[in-house]
Chain A
Amino acid sequence: EAGVAQSPRYKIIEKRQSVAFWCNPISGHATLYWYQQILGQGPKLLIQFQNNGVVDDSQLPKDRFSAERLKGVDSTLKIQPAKLEDSAVYLCASSGRALALETQYFGPGTRLLVL
């Protein structure tokens, strides 16, 4: 079974530029999550999708971050414009259901550096 795929793996941009990350969850997984992991900290949830609908985006900085999951499969996360404090690893995860007991399967992450 293929795992969660993410691209690109690394990205370096200058502040005020825009950037987009892509995630392909495990086949059949209805729930998709985007996390931000700043160096030295644990991941923090940005947004959760159930199929193609948003379940929770309360911690997404909506003035600069946006995410979509068209057709309930792949997802993209965009930052526009980027700030220095956005430097982090962006993790995508998926699970079969949105239940609390469900295991979340993580992708390898995209490491973003904003200069």
Chain B
Amino acid sequence: AQTVTQSQPEMSVQEAETVTLSCTYDTSESDYYLFWYKQPPSRQMILVIRQEAYKQQNATENRFSVNFQKAAKSFSLKISDSQLGDAAMYFCACRGGSQGNLIFGKGTKLSVKP
């Protein structure tokens, strides 16, 4: 079984500043994938960034990067140069095995202050 825990229900950041969203997970699979999804208000969920567990190098997508600590089962998301459009719910998710289910955390609501 897999579990994903996001311990920060809400976070706030000043525009142009950097913010880090936390996520821990647990899985019995040796092969798994980790994801961060963004869900803006009343808009559809989109993939922000993905990390393959077998890769040691942290994934980066423009202003978004992750800090993947495999031994600690931690997968945090760092947003640099925050923009107003980054305001949304952010969900951490884990998918194990070759075709396992995508398991989501409860989400972190990010507010961006101008």
Contact = CB atoms under 8 A, between A and B. Distances in A.
Interface of A: 3-4, 33, 40-45, 48, 55-56, 91, 98-101, 103-104, 106-109
Contact of A91 (B45, B98, B106): B45
Contacts of A42: 4, 91, 93, 104-107
Contact of B44 (A55, A100, A106): A106
A101 B104 CA distance: 15
Interface in B1-58: 4, 31-33, 37, 43-47, 50, 52
Contacts of A104: 47, 102
Interface of B: 4, 31-33, 37, 43-47, 50, 52, 91, 93, 95-102, 104-107
A3 B44 contact: yes
Where chain A touches its partner, the secondary structure class is loop
Given A42-B93, A106-B46, A107-B44, A100 B99 contact: yes
Contact of A103 (B4, B47, B91): B47
Contacts of B104: 41-44
Contacts of B95: 100-101
B35 to A, nearest CB: 8
A41 B106 contact: yes
Contact of B99 (A44, A55, A103, A106): A55
A103 B50 contact: yes
Nearest to A58: B101
Contacts of A55: 99
Contacts of A41: 104, 106-107
A41 B39 CA distance: 12
Given A41-B104, A43-B91, A100-B33, 5 more contacts: A42-B106, A43-B102, A56-B101, A100-B100, A101-B33
